[in-house]
């Protein structure tokens, strides 16, 4: 660090996740902002982050953000709740001013939380997320800053990310774990009328989640809210927007091998199109 060029850099928007989950966010962002260029970075060799300590998640995330800056990204989205919960604040406040104060790093918790006020009538909201995100209390803290009357109850689902990462999201075995955590959550607070899927992997389990969530309870998937909020952000910040290149391009970096990344990424992107993927070491 420190050697990075501080001249005005133009390039793709960086989208970071610990693994494949951020691809669910990328998909929505590309639908909303199709002409912008994107560089997705999955730290697939070190995923999952959800069960790791604050310090480790922070260090890993900073390494990946730094790499995306080196690749020319003026703006990086942490498309990972765990990284947004555990690393965003420190990177924004401590690291960014030292690396290059003209670039930006944004998370995905705030844009998700903003939607909750108008969705919940009972003012009882549930959160399904990784142990790291639940323990960080980032969701209740952010929600209560905007809506102090909302009560947030969290349930950690440590098995859900491995189920998705291992291609088991449609298997009968997944039903057991999906149901268990939904039941646990609703037992803790039966008045919940809105459930946030606070992990980017969970939309891949949506069919099963819908099956076990009683009718009338809303399920919040983050992608559309994050995409809309990024569009607003770029409109409000022309100094960043003008540095984001627009050639309809999208490429991918992974800390795993290309052979491992490709088939899994196609599942998340729901696409069989050829992807431009490179393997990187940190």
Residues listed for the chain:
282
Q: How far is the CB of 28 from ligand DGL (least distance, A)?
A: 14
Helix (H, G, I), strand (E, B) or coil at 102: coil
What DSSP line would sit under 44-82, residue for residue?
Answer: TTT---TTS-HHHHHHHHHHHHHHHHHTT-SEEEE--HH
Q: How far is the CB of 26 from ligand DGL (least distance, A)?
A: 12
Is there a catalytic annotation at residue 199? yes
Write down the residue that tokens 């903003």 correspond to. 114
Q: Where does this chain touch ligand DGL (CB under 6 A) — which range of 34-42, 80-88, 93-101, 262-270?
A: 80-88
Residue whose beta carbon is closest to ligand DGL:
50
Angle formed by the axes of helices 223-236 and 22-32, nearest 10°: 50
Q: Distance (Å, rounded) from C-alpha 251 to C-alpha 20?
A: 14
Q: How far is the CB of 141 from ligand DGL (least distance, A)?
A: 16
Site string for ligand DGL, 34-73 (x = CB under 6 A): -------------xxxx-----------------------
Binding-site member from 29, 163, 182, 199 for ligand DGL (CB under 6 A): 199
Q: Sheet with 151-156: list strands edge to edge.
A: 151-156, 124-129, 194-197, 218-220
What DSSP line would sit under 183-200, residue for residue?
Answer: HHHHHH-TT--EEEE-ST
Is there a catalytic annotation at residue 80? yes
| Closer residue to ligand DGL (CB): 19 or 140 | 19
Site string for ligand DGL, 6-25 (x = CB under 6 A): -----------xxx-x----
- Single out the catalytic residue among 64, 73, 80, 221: 80
| Closer residue to ligand DGL (CB): 99 or 174 | 174
Extended strands (E) in the chain: 13-17, 38-42, 75-78, 104-106, 124-129, 151-156, 194-197, 218-220, 250-254, 277-279
* 81 lines the binding site for ligand DGL (CB under 6 A): yes
Binding-site member from 23, 75, 109, 161 for ligand DGL (CB under 6 A): 161
Catalytic amino acids?
A: 80, 199
Binding site for ligand DGL (CB under 6 A): 17-19, 21, 47-50, 80-82, 130, 133, 161, 199-201
């Amino acid at each position: 660090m420190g050697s990075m060029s501080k001249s005005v850099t133009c390039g793709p928007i960086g989208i970071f996740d610990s693994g494949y989950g951020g691809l669910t966010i990328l998909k929505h962002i590309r639908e909303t902002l199709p002409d912008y260029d994107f560089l997705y970075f999955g730290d697939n060799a070190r995923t999952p982050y959800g069960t790791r300590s604050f310090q480790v998640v922070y260090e890993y995330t900073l390494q990946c953000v730094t790499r995306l800056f080196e690749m020319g990204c003026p703006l990086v989205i942490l498309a990972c709740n765990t990284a947004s919960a555990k690393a965003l604040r420190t990177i924004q406040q401590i690291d960014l001013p030292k690396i290059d104060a003209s670039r930006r790093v944004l998370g995905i918790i705030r844009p998700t939380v903003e939607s909750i006020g108008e969705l919940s009538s009972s003012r009882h909201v549930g959160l399904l997320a990784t142990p790291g995100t639940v323990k960080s209390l980032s969701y209740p803290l952010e929600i209560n800053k905007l809506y102090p009357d909302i009560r947030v109850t969290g349930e950690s689902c440590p098995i859900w990310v491995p189920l998705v990462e291992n291609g088991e999201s449609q298997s009968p075995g997944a039903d057991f774990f999906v149901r268990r955590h939904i039941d646990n959550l609703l037992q803790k607070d039966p008045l919940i009328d809105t459930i946030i899927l606070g992990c980017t992997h969970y939309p891949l389990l949506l069919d099963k989640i819908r099956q076990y969530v009683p009718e009338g309870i809303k399920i919040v998937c983050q992608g559309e809210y994050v995409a809309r909020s990024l569009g607003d952000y770029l409109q409000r910040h022309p100094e960043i927007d003008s540095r984001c290149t627009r050639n309809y391009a999208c490429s991918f970096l992974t800390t795993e091998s290309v052979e491992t990344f490709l088939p899994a990424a196609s599942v998340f992107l729901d696409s069989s199109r050829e992807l431009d993927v490179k393997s990187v070491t940190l």
